[in-house]
Amino acid sequence: MKISNGSATKCAFIFAAVTVLSGCVAYPNVEKINADFGGYLNSEYSISYPSAALRAKLTEVNLKPKPGIKEFSMKMNLSQAGIGEQTPKVSPFDVRFTNLGNGFYREVRELRNNDFLTARFVYLTWAGLLQLKSDTIVSGDTFPVPYQEVKDVAQFKFDPVNMKVGDKLVFETKLGNRPQAFNFITEKSECIAEKIAPAASLQKNFSGNGVWLACTSKNDRGFDSKKKSVYLIDYALAIPLEFKSPTRTQEYEITGFTAQ
C-alpha cells in the first residue's frame, strides 16, 4: 500500500519488444470520485471488469463463501520498510470487503490522518490471491494511480475445503498495465499449505477453518516475491499476513472485525 506524491498521468506507456506504444486511458478526476465514491465503485469495480475469458476461468474454480457473507470490515495495521530502512513504518487503516460472488471481492482500504481521509486503495480481487484491478486515490491528487493487474491465468485447480498440510496451489498468470494488450509479464506462483486451523485463531470473530498459505512467485522479468496469507474457507478470501520482495517488506496485523 503506497501513496504517490504526484498525480497519475492520463497516458500509460507500454514498451513492447522494440516498439513503443502509447495507450491513453480516461481516468476520472479524484475530486469527482470522492464526491460519488459509491457510484464510482459500482461502475468501475464490478465483476464485469475482467475479460469474459478470465472471468470464466476463475468462476469455473467454483469458490463459494458460506450463505449470508455480503460485506465485512476490518481494522488493520500495515508495517512496511523499503530498501535500507531499519525501522518499519506502521500505518493503521480500515478495509471493507464486498462479496461479488464466486470468489470475486471488491476491497477498499482507507487511510486517515487526524480523522481526515488521506487516501483510498481500491482493488478488484479474486479470492485475495489475484489482483484484477487496483487504483490508489490520494486526496489532493488530480487522477487515481492504477497498478499492474492480472490479464489472464492458465487453468488451475483449487479445492481449499479438502486441502491438507503440504498440499500445493500452483497457478500461472499474465500481468500488464490497464491499457496493455500484449507483451505481458508471465508470473508463476506456488503456494504451500503450512497449516489448517480454525480461522478464529487469526481473529476471534472469523468462522470456519483457515488455510495458512506460503507463496513464492517468480516472473520472466527477474522479479521474485514471497507472500503469506490465510485463506478463510467460509469467506472464500485470503487475508494477507506478509509480503517480501527485493525492494520492500510488509506485515499485516488485524486489530478489529465487523460483519455487516
CB atoms within 10 A of CB 56: 11
Distance CA 151, CA 135 (A): 16
Across 201-216, average pLDDT = 97
CA dihedral 77, 34, 3, 181 (to 10 degrees): 110
pLDDT 10s digits, 145-202: 999 999 999 999 999 999 999 999 999 999 999 989 999 999 999 999 999 999 999 9
- For residue 97, list its beta bridge partners: 72, 107
Q: What confidence score (pLDDT) does residue 121 get? A: 97
Name the nearest CA neighbour of 69 among 253, 232, 184. 232
CA-CA-CA-CA torsion sign (142, 81, 215, 209): negative
Measured in degrees and rounded to the nearest 5, phi and psi for residue 40 equal: -60, -45
CA dihedral 98, 260, 110, 210 (to 10 degrees): -70
Q: What confidence score (pLDDT) does residue 22 get? A: 37
CA triplet 149, 154, 160: central angle to 5 degrees? 90
Q: What confidence score (pLDDT) does residue 26 get? A: 64
- Better-predicted residue by pLDDT, 99 or 25: 99
Q: What confidence score (pLDDT) does residue 70 get? A: 94
pLDDT at residue 20 tops 50: no
CA-CA-CA-CA torsion sign (215, 81, 246, 12): positive
Distance CA 93, CA 250 (A): 14
pLDDT 10s digits, 109-157: 999 988 899 999 999 999 999 999 999 999 999 999 999 999 999 999 9
Distance CA 166, CA 173 (A): 22
pLDDT band at 40 (very low <50, low <70, confident <90, very high): very high
Q: Domain map of the chain by residue range?
A: 11-259
Q: What confidence score (pLDDT) does residue 83 get? A: 87
Choosing among 2.50.20, 2.30.29, 1.10.10, 1.10.150, the CATH entry for 11-259 is 2.50.20
